[in-house]
Structure 1
Amino acid sequence: MVAPVLRLSRAVVFATVCGAVSAGGHVLAGGGLVPFWVCLAGVLAAFGLAYLVDGRERGAVAVLAATVGAQMVLHQLFARLAPIAEPRATDGAGHAHPAAGATAGMVLVHLTVAALTAWWLHRGERALWLMIRLYAAPPPVIRLLVTAPPEITQPSWRPVACDVPVLVERAVSSAVGRRGPPAAPRHSR
């Protein structure tokens, strides 16, 4: 199970990314500017979805499903509560209807945004869980560096008495001092 703080922070990141990118995509696909309160409502809806499914590490398919679900909810919310910038088509009775291209374009933009944010969020999800696993079970070298060593006594640097007799210098008469490599051995026949 995931700690509440980690679960909350992951849900906040998911909701913020989905809400901000979806609002930007909504505007670029022909919708009007999304009012702050509508964007906040969308972020809170995405936060609720993310918090519900955020109990453990999720794979790419689960992250994609969550982002597609969030984008569809945000699309519906923005389409109903945000003004539409594209001209509306009218039917024979003069009733206004949103242009069919705008709706298809919006859905395509939201699905594209869902795929891109799912890829990006899944990469972050994998990196986060890798760090958690590494922190939970550090390699032995890191464990040695991180753990406190047992109390070590400091070495003493006092002089030690020495009872070795001092030899008087004398020349060794049989020693010959030469420079160079040793002579090649002679073979006797």
Structure 2
Amino acid sequence: MPFRLLRTMVFAVVCLGLGAGAHVFGGGTVSGDAMVAAFWMAACAAFPVAGRERTVHAILPLLGGLQLALHLLFSLSHAGSPGQAVAHAVHGSGGLVPDLGMLVAHSWATLLTALWLARGEALLWALLRRLAVRLLAVLLPPVPETPFFAGAVAEPPVLRSAVLRHVLSRRGPPMVVETS
């Protein structure tokens, strides 16, 4: 359970950092209440899937959906009132309806972050598997190499040297060729 919570919190922080950073970079502001709400929204979405290793095919849709939800949350909190939110949406000034540049920026950031998180997932789980193998090797007693009831062991046959017909021996120093 603590491992699942730790992975959930890391995902929520990365998702919140990506969403808030993109929103501020795009000229918006993010209030503290919106940050707290966004963090818990991301954490609640990530907790059910944080129990086992996830690939980019599971991380990307979750991250993309959360980025859309965070964009809407930050845009609504930035507008102040529902009337201002409608005005932002109607006039297209970076409100609820994103322009093409914002969609491209969100898409690239989401894709790169999903690939980064998937690589981190793979490395984390590979490390945990290696640690588990090492821990089992330390904790479990070694298996005896001889069976309990070792019967008479046959002696291996004596090897004879045999002269092979097609072997040419070239051992020793090179021969000196004398020329006169």
Q: TM-score, normalised to structure 2's length?
A: 0.65
> In the alignment, which residue of structure 1 is the partner of 2:21?
24
Q: Who is 1:96 aligned against?
A: 87
TM-aligned CA deviation for residue 111 of structure 1: 2.0
In the other structure, the counterpart of 1:67 is: 63
Aligned-partner residue type, residue 41 of structure 1: A
How many matched pairs? 133
- 5 Å-filtered alignment, 1:128-147, equals 128-138=124-134, 143=137, 146=138
Moved over 4 A (4+): 146-150
Q: Quick check: 1:30–1:106 contact (8 Å CA) kept in 2? A: no
Partners of 1:122 and 1:40 in 2: how far apart? 25
How do residues 114-133 of structure 1 correspond to structure 2 at under 5 angstroms? 114-133=110-129
Give the letter aligned to residue 22 of structure 1: G
TM-score, with length taken from structure 1: 0.62
Residue by residue over 1:76-106, the C-alpha shift from the partner in whole angstroms, topping out at 9 and shown as x without a partner, is: 111111249xxx9xxxxxx834443631233
Structure in which a larger fraction of residues adopt helix: 2
- Of 38, 42, 61 in structure 2, the residue corresponding to residue 42 of structure 1 is 38
Matched, 1:55 2:51: yes
Structure 2 residue ranges without an equivalent (≥5): 143-180
Structure 1 vs Structure 2 CA RMSD = 2.7
Find the partner of 2:9 among 12, 18, 31.
Answer: 12
Evaluate the alpha carbon distance shift between residue 149 and residue 110 of structure 1 in structure 2; reply closer, same or farther with a 3 A threshold: same
